[in-house]
């Protein structure tokens, strides 16, 4: 049975292009723990949301790509043969970049008409950007008759965001959007791109709370954090042989050689090295069903993101503080790139409804803003509609 968003998307495509499309979807993601570790070759623990960006697509006889975004209420058009195209600085760069880098990877793409829509909030830290990239990439490859290698598609989408859009993100968002497994999180090694399932104890629920504060990663704060991590690796390489990323550094090594770098850079490195360790410990705790330990590690993650990585904000800190005062909460932390967006909360199942009501009331009382709150179900990765 078609969902409302599928019906609306088909109707919009017919109205725009007067023919029948095929539908594809790519999910957003949550991340239980492992923040800002992916671009340091570390470990992360994401899951796909049951919220997605949808693409309706049909081939054209030429080499034009016409895109209508219902979310942005805008139409753009470009030539697939214009390989020297420059970014426009808007949402269309995510699609144009993917098309460009698919072709650089050797894929022969067909011209298409494309309509995009979704129920995934933009700028909330749920990786709408990766969902845009993956939904468009999956659709473009399929319509062009190419076989979709999910890991390869994730890598191409990341490359497009790094080199065309200009956000130096890691691989986590694109990987989980492509490769997620319904009902589970994944422990992903961002160096080897291997992963395994992590089952969430059914006695707990994952609840996302949206501050309604919107970030803009391309405003350079994200990229500055990555540059600090690279500075830390360069400094440590003068003291420690064989390291290429902060993933290769142990906590004792970092503490021993912290004087090799400026204090700010040291704090950035301390977050990353500690967060990689917390992520591995959290995976073991989930495997053992130790929800209290999982929550404790999530709490430590937030403190580190707030104090050492400095990517939190007053509203995120407020939400985490409210969560800590509510019954049945194992742990809470900010999630995503930072500077706004969502918190993720690990809540005892029987307390979930009360948590949602209390969080909404207390946050609204403190800020005058009504938060969006979602109890999450881990969904599957990208694919055609109905799969």
Domains located in the chain, CATH noted: 4-198+379-384 (3.30.230.10), 204-375 (3.30.70.890)
For the segment 277-299, the average pLDDT, to the nearest whole number, is 99
User: What is the predicted pLDDT for the residue at 125?
Assistant: 81
User: What is the predicted pLDDT for the residue at 218?
Assistant: 43
- Find the Cα–Cα–Cα–Cα dihedral 344, 346, 349, 350, rounded to 10°: -100
Averaged confidence pLDDT in the chain: 96
pLDDT in tens, 8-17: 999 999 999 9
Chain position carrying tokens 């020297």 = 84
Q: Read off the tokens for 366.
A: 């403190």
Q: Which of 117, 173, 210, 308 does the annotation list as catalytic?
A: 173
Q: What percent of the chain has pLDDT over 90?
A: 92
pLDDT in tens, 225-262: 999 999 999 999 999 999 999 999 999 999 999 999 99
Q: Which of 42, 81, 46, 56 is nearest to 233 (CA)?
A: 42
- Dihedral sign, CA of 218, 219, 221, 225? positive
Per-residue CA distances from 217 to 119, 162, 172, 267 (Å): 20, 12, 16, 20
Task: Give the range among 47-61, 213-227, 243-257, 301-315 with minimum mean pLDDT.
Answer: 213-227
Beta bridge pairs of residue 206:
346
Active site includes 173? yes
């Amino acid at each position: 049975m078609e969902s409302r968003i599928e019906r609306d998307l088909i109707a919009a495509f017919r109205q725009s292009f007067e023919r029948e499309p095929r539908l594809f979807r790519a999910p957003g993601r949550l991340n239980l723990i492992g923040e800002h570790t992916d671009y340091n070759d570390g470990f992360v623990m994401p899951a796909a949301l049951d919220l997605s960006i949808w693409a309706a697509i049909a081939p054209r006889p030429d080499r034009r790509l016409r895109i209508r975004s219902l979310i942005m209420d805008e139409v753009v058009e470009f030539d697939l043969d214009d390989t020297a195209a420059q970014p426009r600085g808007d949402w269309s760069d995510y699609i144009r970049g993917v098309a460009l880098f698919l072709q650089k990877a050797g894929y022969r793409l067909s011209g298409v008409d494309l309509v995009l829509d979704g129920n995934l909030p933009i700028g909330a830290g749920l990786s709408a950007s990766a969902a845009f990239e993956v939904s468009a990439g999956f659709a473009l490859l399929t319509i062009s008759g190419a076989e979709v290698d999910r890991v390869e598609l994730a890598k191409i989408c990341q490359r497009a965001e790094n080199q065309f859009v200009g956000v130096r993100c890691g691989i986590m968002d694109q990987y989980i959007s492509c490769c997620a497994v319904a009902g589970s999180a994944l422990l992903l090694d961002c160096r080897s791109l291997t992963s395994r399932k992590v089952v969430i104890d059914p006695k707990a629920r994952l609840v996302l709370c949206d501050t309604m504060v919107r970030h803009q990663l391309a405003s350079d704060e994200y990229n500055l954090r990555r540059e600090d991590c690279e500075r830390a690796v360069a400094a440590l390489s003068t003291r420690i042989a064989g390291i290429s990323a902060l993933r290769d550094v142990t906590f004792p090594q970092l503490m021993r050689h912290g004087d090799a770098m400026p204090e700010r850079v040291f704090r950035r490195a301390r977050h990353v090295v500690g967060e990689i360790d917390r992520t591995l410990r959290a995976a073991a705790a989930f495997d053992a069903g130790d929800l209290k330990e999982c929550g404790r590690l999530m709490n430590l993650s937030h403190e580190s993101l707030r104090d050492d990585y400095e990517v939190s904000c007053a509203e995120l800190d407020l939400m985490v503080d409210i969560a800590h005062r509510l019954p049945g909460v194992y742990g809470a932390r900010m999630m995503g790139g930072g500077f706004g967006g969502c918190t993720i909360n690990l809540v005892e199942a029987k307390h979930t409804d009360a948590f949602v009501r209390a969080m909404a009331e207390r946050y609204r009382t403190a800020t005058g803003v009504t938060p969006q709150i979602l109890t999450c179900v881990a969904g599957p990765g990208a694919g055609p509609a109905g799969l």
